[in-house]
Amino acid sequence: MKFHMPVKVYCEHDCVKTYSDEWTSLGRKALIVTGRSSAKNGALADVTDSLNAHQISYCIFDHTEENPSIEMVMQVRDMGIRENVDFVIGIGGGSPMDAAKAIALMIYHKDKDADYLYQQGDSTALPIVEVPTTCGTGSEVTPISVLTIHAKRTKSSIPHRIFPQYALVDGKYLASAPKKILVNTSVDSLGHLIESYINLGASPFSRMISEYGMALWKDVKPALLSDHVTDEDRDRMMLTSTLAGMAITHAGTTLPHGLSYFLTYEMHIPHGQAVGYFQPGYVAAAAPETQAKVLELIGCKDIAEFTTLIHTLLGPLEIAPDMVDTAIKGIMANERKLKPVPYEVTEETLRKFFEMAM
């Protein structure tokens, strides 16, 4: 049994500025990878103010696409090489944070082409700082980078394990996030907690984290269902997401995530929403005592209540029957997502997941 969490995590208000002496010492020039919203939520300004205060130069790529592709990673890696950067800062949701890892890998391996992203080999990368501004991915503490592979019409995590050096986690960056983003990303973190818990790779360490995370999620639930979200709720959502990231670092994700990639690629359903649809089915197929434990932790009296909760938060999944067949076929051939499931999975099991989502 092992527990390996080499990321230095600061989780408190204003941590970007408070600990800037430390993280700005990673190099002389930074490449900031972000999307457009980090300018609105204040995270980008906190990062650039800190870099300026320490006389560290930087360049910014702020057009990170949702579900970043291999092509985008290679384009930004070229920019990083041109600018001679020596560390990478990802600011935003899973897309910029995952992209930052892949870009940091490819800048370090300057002589490699895009194929290297999906090849086994040296995973050394430039140092990485991650600043999350959504509460779902947990990417700030995971070694995972999921990219879109257009040639295969899906998303898939790269085989390299790349831990950031710093995770700077501040719930205040959620203040400007639309409610829909808070819901979708919080449902994603619930998916991480559940899938890493009902998982053959779970250990007492990862279970401890999943259990605490699910108990926190229970307290986040009323805010997700109402129009009133307090600072305290946002802090709790952010912490839950970081804990969920630690849990998947150790046990990984399983069927719901595997199925979600298909929905996201083919139907453009946001990641958290796509993951959330399959959680009731995934829990319902587990052993009765596991099921009872999960439901108790997240504060649902039975599977029916959990299913209703997901429907209330996400609405029903609308999907054509032939798409269901294709998704099931795809996941039945996905050894990586099937292997950690602690129960037998048949096409029928998966069909039930869809029925409960619709």
CA atoms of 253 and 330, how far apart (whole Å): 16
Closer to Zn ion at the Cβ: 50 or 95? Answer: 95
Considering the rule CB under 5 A, would residue 140 count as an interface residue with Zn ion?
no
In three-state secondary structure terms, 278 is coil
Q: How far is the CB of 211 from Zn ion (least distance, A)?
A: 19
Q: How far is the CB of 243 from Zn ion (least distance, A)?
A: 14
Contact 306, 279 (CB under 8 A): yes
Of the candidates 34, 87, 36, 95, the one whose C-alpha atom is nearest the C-alpha of residue 60 is 34
Q: How far is the CB of 270 from Zn ion (least distance, A)?
A: 11
Size of residue set near Zn ion by CB under 5 A: 1
Q: How far is the CB of 30 from Zn ion (least distance, A)?
A: 27
Closer to Zn ion at the Cβ: 56 or 220? Answer: 220
Q: How far is the CB of 353 from Zn ion (least distance, A)?
A: 16
Residue 108 token pair: 């370090």
Residue 65 DSSP one-character state: P
Q: Which conformational region is residue 138 in: left (phi greater than 0), alpha (psi within -120 to 50 degrees), or beta?
A: left
Closer to Zn ion at the Cβ: 127 or 138? Answer: 138
Q: How far is the CB of 257 from Zn ion (least distance, A)?
A: 6
Closer to Zn ion at the Cβ: 30 or 251? Answer: 251
Q: Which residues contact 101 (CB under 8 A, 6 or more apart)?
A: 90, 125, 128, 139, 143, 144, 145, 160, 162, 164
Please list every residue from 247 through 306 that binds Zn ion, using CB under 5 A.
Answer: none
Q: Which helix (H) or strand (E) holds 67?
A: none
Closer to Zn ion at the Cβ: 24 or 186? Answer: 186
Considering the rule CB under 5 A, would residue 188 count as an interface residue with Zn ion?
yes
Contact 117, 71 (CB under 8 A): no
Strand pairing category for 57-61 and 29-34: parallel
- Strand partners of residue 11: 169
Binding string, 214-233, against Zn ion, x = CB under 5 A?
A: --------------------
Contact 260, 183 (CB under 8 A): no
Stretch in the footprint of Zn ion (CB under 5 A) among 188-196, 236-244, 281-289, 338-346 = 188-196
Closer to Zn ion at the Cβ: 34 or 189? Answer: 189
Q: How far is the CB of 59 from Zn ion (least distance, A)?
A: 29
Q: How far is the CB of 253 from Zn ion (least distance, A)?
A: 6
Considering the rule CB under 5 A, would residue 195 count as an interface residue with Zn ion?
no
Residue 198 DSSP one-character state: S
Binding string, 147-186, against Zn ion, x = CB under 5 A?
A: ----------------------------------------
Q: Which conformational region is residue 90 in: left (phi greater than 0), alpha (psi within -120 to 50 degrees), or beta?
A: beta
Please give the residue whose beta carbon sits closest to Zn ion in the complex: 188
In three-state secondary structure terms, 149 is strand
CA distance between the termini of the chain: 39
Closer to Zn ion at the Cβ: 130 or 188? Answer: 188
Closer to Zn ion at the Cβ: 275 or 328? Answer: 275
Interface with Zn ion (CB under 5 A) = 188
